[in-house]
Structure formats: C-alpha cells, structure tokens
C-alpha cells in the first residue's frame, strides 16, 4: 500500500524517520505544489533500500547519474549508459564503472554527495509538497552509485543547515517539554557539539527552556536541536506537567477527592466485565 | 463498589468523546471547572474540561471512562487522570499523520507517569487517506510487533467496535498483571 500525504502534515524529517525505522524499500516521490496551475510541476524522486537512501533524481528516465558523470567530463554520458547496459542489470552503474576502472572511489563519493546529500538536503526547505512512497517500485540501478546513506543521517545534515524553520514551527518540541533517550547506550550517528550538549540532558526531567538557559543558547535553537535528535530517532519529547502559576486554580475535581488511587481489581470483576461487553459486540 | 477506571486519550479529533458516548449508559458529562481563587477575578474560567462516562454491569461493579482534554497545555489534568487510571487507550486518527507527533507526545507523557497497561486504537481507518495499521505503528515508533501494545482499528461511532476495543484493553490488562510488558 502506498503512503501518501503532504509535507505540511507529515514533514520530510518525519517521513525519513518513518522510512528508516520501517526499513522501507521503494520510491519516494515529492511533487512540489504551485499556486499557478500552468506552471511546470517539479517532481523529485528518492529511492530507498532497507531504510537507506541509494539514489535521488528529478527525472525517471534513469539518465540522471550518467548526465552528471558526463557533465564532469569523466566519461561521455552515452558511454556511461552503454557500459551500464553491458553490465549486470542488478548492479549499480557506479559500481560497474568502478569495477571497469572507469571511475574511482573518490569520484563515486563526489557523485553521491552531489546526487543525494546536496540534492535531498535542499528539499527540506520546501514549504509543502505532495508525497507518495511506493514500496513496489524497483531500484533504479542505472541511477545508483552503489553508495548509500541512512535516511536520518541525511535529515541531520539537512536540518543543521536549514535557514527557514517556519514550515516546521508547529513540529518543534514545546519549550516546557523535556527530551528522553530512546536508544541503548550512546548515539552511533556523528553529532555536532550542541547536539551532544543536548544529548547529555536527554533524561526526561529538564525542560528545553531550562536547558536553553543552562547552555546559554536561544530557546528556538534548542528546540531545533531537539527536533533533530527526535527525527534522528535518538530521543523522544516528553511533556512535563505544566506548573500553573499565572492561571487560576481550579476547583478540585470529584475524582481527585472522592476516588482513591487505582487499586487492584479482582479477576471476577474483570471476567464479568469482559462477559458483559461481549454481549454488546 | 468495585470500579475500573479507563482513560481515553489522544490528540484533538481522534474520537475520544464519541468513543465514550458510544458505550456510556449515562449522558457523557463534559466538565468545565471554574476558578475559585483570587486569580478568578482576572480570568473567570479555566477550561480543563474532560469527558466522563459510566457503564454498570452489576450491583457493585462499574466501568468509568475518562476522556482527557485534547490539548497538551492541560498536562496537569492528564496527570490527575492517569494517576487514578487502571489502563488507558490512546486513540489516533489514522488519516491525520500530522497528529502522529502529538500522539507520541501523549504516549511519552503517560508512560513516564504511570506503568498501567495501554492499547492503541486507530480511528478513521475507512478514510481513503488513512495509513494502514503496520505503517501507522511504525510512524508511532513501534518497530517490532513483539514489543508493542495491541494496536487495533476502532470506529468510535459504533458501540460494538468500542465494546471490542474495551474488551481488548481489559484482556490486555489481565495479561499485563500476569506478565508485565515494557
């Protein structure tokens, strides 16, 4: 079943987290929305294999990588495609070219950086787009360098350089929330200094606004760092109980005073309840 | 009198009030608390509304259902409710992925304050845009089928569906008492 939606509802960072955590394989299509119906609709395609990004392009003819190779003068575009056709159809074109001594490992890394890291990172600036993830789409071997990157690693890199956070404003953890680690041990990802600093507070007890004060960082910056760690799958946001000081104190609720703490229920009670409810099903 | 208290929680629009209304024997009580201290002069009301429903099934046996306020700024109210609860169901609208992040916040809040058993009820599963159960589970942070609470589809407008959801929650609670789950 295809997963579809809009980035304004489910942000690209959330989507990448979902695809990585779910070890998804398939094609993610992003269709940029435009107010002008006549304007050319720009599509972006990102391929995933087991939750890792293996290729990206803005075309589906599988000539994107060959074109990039040709642009750099390393090999003619047609030559690259012809070589790819003579190779194993289930081998990424980048690996085929490397195996034949036509490209070096460094050149492949550069291609991957340009094709995936740079291209995909710019998509995080999109205010909105329609997306579809098709898990039945085949891998585009003629578009693949043979290198890959975990989706959340790309997210971290993209969000670190994101200038305009307005599209993510309602996704940021609340200033009154804390963050808590959801992994065992320390993160495997390469974190920067401020991310490590926030990580040290990931125990679910101190609010982001207090952390901001302690680290002497703007609150908004701390919220953004927290969002990065959340979407990297390292921590979760934990709302803390709001201390009501400026608001009026409400009357005590009936259950506060009259109802005792939750006590153990008898098995006969639970069996009777289930029996009663089954009569309603 | 033996009473089981279940909390029905979830983001705004997940179907909490409807869920309680579908199974309650009384008209659902929508509580709106008035301020009583001196700050009431500045603000007349604090809107800390929650829904309350009841189901009696014996002379001395009843099920009480409490719906949490849908907005996270009422955290203190949630705290009171969860501390008194025997179990809870987290309702999530499967067709609104924008609310998944809020559902995760609520779950994290609940989990930190109470170890009581919980299940997840996915609502609006009949809407074409709804995420299927497996994908919604992943989006809610459940990666392994072995290490997650029961996740079921529920139609809050249907008494039978709500009753089935409550059965699942009660049975899960019974199992949890025998074999605690993380």
Average pLDDT over all residues of chain A? 88
- How far apart CA B142 and CA A62 sit, in angstroms, is 35
Chain B CA closest to residue A16:
B139
Q: Is the ipTM of this complex over 0.90?
A: no
CB atoms within 10 A of CB B70: 18
Q: Indicate if the pLDDT at residue A34 is higher than 90.
A: no
| pLDDT tens, residue by residue, A241-262 | 765 544 445 555 555 444 456 6
- How far apart CA B131 and CA B137 sit, in angstroms, is 9
Distance from CA of B29 to the nearest CA of A (A): 12
The residues, any chain, with a CB within 8 Å of residue A5's CB and separated by 6 or more, are A130, A131, B97, B129
Q: Indicate if the pLDDT at residue A84 is higher than 80.
A: no
Question: And the tokens for A136?
Answer: 């039945």
**CATH 1.10.10 domain span(s) along chain A:** 172-239
Chain B CB contacts of A171 under 8 Å are: 101
Look at the block and give the residue holding tokens 């690209």.
A12
Reported for A268-276, long-range contacts at CB under 8 A and 24+ positions apart, including other chains, are A269/B2, A269/B4, A269/B61, A270/B4, A270/B170, A270/B173, A270/B174, A272/B57, A272/B58, A272/B61, A273/B4, A273/B57, A273/B61, A273/B63, A273/B170, A274/B167, A274/B170, A274/B171, A276/B55, A276/B57
Q: pLDDT value at position B37?
A: 46
- How far apart CA B125 and CA B142 sit, in angstroms, is 18
| pLDDT tens, residue by residue, A205-232 | 999 999 999 999 999 999 999 999 999 9
Among the four given CATH numbers 3.40.50.300, 3.40.640.10, 3.30.43.10, 3.40.50.1220, the one describing domain B2-32+46-178: 3.40.50.300
Q: What mean pLDDT is predicted for residues A137-165?
A: 94
CB atoms within 10 A of CB A70: 17
Q: What mean pLDDT is predicted for residues A45-69?
A: 93
Identify from B25, B52, B128, B135 which residue to disrupt to test chain A contact, counting A C-beta atoms within 10 A and taking the largest count: B135
Query: What are the angstrom distances between the C-alpha of B39 and each of A59, A173, A182, A236, B3?
Result: 62, 29, 40, 35, 35
Look at residue B175 and give its three-state secondary structure: helix
Smallest Cα–Cα separation from A266: which of B8, B163, B177?
B177
Q: Indicate if the pLDDT at residue A82 is higher than 90.
A: no
Through-space distance between the first and last CA atoms of chain B, rounded to whole angstroms:
30
Q: What mean pLDDT is predicted for residues A36-51?
A: 81
CA B147 to the chain's CA centroid: 20
- How far apart CA A215 and CA A116 sit, in angstroms, is 33
Identify from B2, B142, B172 which residue to disrupt to test chain A contact, counting A C-beta atoms within 10 A and taking the largest count: B2
Q: Which residue has the higher pLDDT, A142 or B46?
A: A142
Structural contact between residues B93 and B12, judged by C-beta atoms closer than 8 angstroms: no
Q: pLDDT value at position A157?
A: 95
CATH of span A172-239? 1.10.10
- How far apart CA A141 and CA A80 sit, in angstroms, is 13
CB atoms within 10 A of CB A39: 9
Q: pLDDT value at position B180?
A: 41
Question: And the tokens for A248?
Answer: 């009026």
Q: What mean pLDDT is predicted for residues A160-168?
A: 93
Q: Indicate if the pLDDT at residue A153 is higher than 90.
A: yes
Q: Is A5 on the interface with B (CB under 8 A)?
A: yes
User: DSSP class of residue A41?
Assistant: P
Query: What are the angstrom distances between the C-alpha of A102 and each of A79, A95, A107, A248?
Result: 10, 10, 10, 74
Contact A21 B39 (CB under 8 A): no
The residues, any chain, with a CB within 8 Å of residue B149's CB and separated by 6 or more, are B117, B118, B119, B120, B142, B172, B181
The residues, any chain, with a CB within 8 Å of residue B94's CB and separated by 6 or more, are B122, B123, B124, B125, B127, B130, B131, B132, B133, B136, B153
Q: pLDDT value at position B41?
A: 43
Q: pLDDT value at position A281?
A: 81
Smallest Cα–Cα separation from A92: which of A29, A147, A134, A151?
A147
Q: Indicate if the pLDDT at residue A180 is higher than 50.
A: yes
pLDDT tens string, chain B, 182 residues long: the values are 899 999 999 998 899 999 999 999 887 776 655 545 443 443 444 445 678 899 998 888 999 999 987 665 656 777 888 888 999 999 999 999 999 999 999 999 999 888 999 999 999 999 999 999 999 999 999 988 888 999 999 999 999 999 999 999 999 998 876 544 33
């Amino acid at each position: 079943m295809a997963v579809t939606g809009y980035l304004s509802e489910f942000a690209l960072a959330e989507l990448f987290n979902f695809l990585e955590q779910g070890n998804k394989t398939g094609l993610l299509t992003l269709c940029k929305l435009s107010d002008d119906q006549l304007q050319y609709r720009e599509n972006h395609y990102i391929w995933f294999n087991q939750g890792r990004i293996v290729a990206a392009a803005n075309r589906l003819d599988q000539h994107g990588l060959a074109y990039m190779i040709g642009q750099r003068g390393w090999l003619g575009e047609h030559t690259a495609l012809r070589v790819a056709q003579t190779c194993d159809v289930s081998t990424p074109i980048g690996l085929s070219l490397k195996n034949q001594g036509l490209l070096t490992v460094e050149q492949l890394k550069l291609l991957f950086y340009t094709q995936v890291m740079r291209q995909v990172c710019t998509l995080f600036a999109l205010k909105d787009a329609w997306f579809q993830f098709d898990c039945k789409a085949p891998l585009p071997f003629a578009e693949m360098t043979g290198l890959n990157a975990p989706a959340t690693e790309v997210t971290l890199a993209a969000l670190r350089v994101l200038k305009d956070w307005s599209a993510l404003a309602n996704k940021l953890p609340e200033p009154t929330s804390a963050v808590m680690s959801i992994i065992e041990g320390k993160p495997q990802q390469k974190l920067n200094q401020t991310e490590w600093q926030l990580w040290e507070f990931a125990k679910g007890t101190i609010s982001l606004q207090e952390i901001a004060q302690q680290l002497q960082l703007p609150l908004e910056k701390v919220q953004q760092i927290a969002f990065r760690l959340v979407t990297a799958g390292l921590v979760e946001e934990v709302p803390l109980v709001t201390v009501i000081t400026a608001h009026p104190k409400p009357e005590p609720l009936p259950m506060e005073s009259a109802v005792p703490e939750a006590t153990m229920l008898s098995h006969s009670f639970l069996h009777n309840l289930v029996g009663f409810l089954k009569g309603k099903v | 009198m033996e009473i089981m208290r279940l909390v029905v929680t979830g983001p705004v629009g997940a179907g909490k009030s409807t869920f309680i209304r579908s199974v309650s024997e009384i008209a659902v009580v929508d509580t709106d608390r008035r301020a009583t201290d001196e700050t009431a002069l500045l603000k007349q009301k604090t809107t800390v509304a929650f829904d309350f429903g009841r189901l009696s099934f014996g002379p001395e046996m009843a099920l009480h259902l409490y719906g949490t306020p849908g907005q996270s700024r009422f955290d203190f109210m949630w705290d009171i409710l969860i501390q008194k609860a025997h179990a809870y169901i987290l309702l999530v609208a499967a067709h609104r992925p924008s609310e998944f992040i809020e559902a995760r916040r609520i779950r994290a809040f609940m989990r930190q304050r109470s170890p009581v058993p919980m299940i997840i009820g996915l609502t609006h599963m009949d809407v074409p845009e709804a995420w299927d159960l497996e994908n919604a589970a992943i989006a809610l942070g459940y990666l392994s089928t072995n290490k997650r609470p029961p996740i079921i589809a529920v139609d809050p407008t249907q008494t039978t569906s709500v009753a089935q959801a409550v059965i699942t929650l009660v049975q899960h609670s019974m199992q949890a008492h025998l074999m605690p789950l993380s």
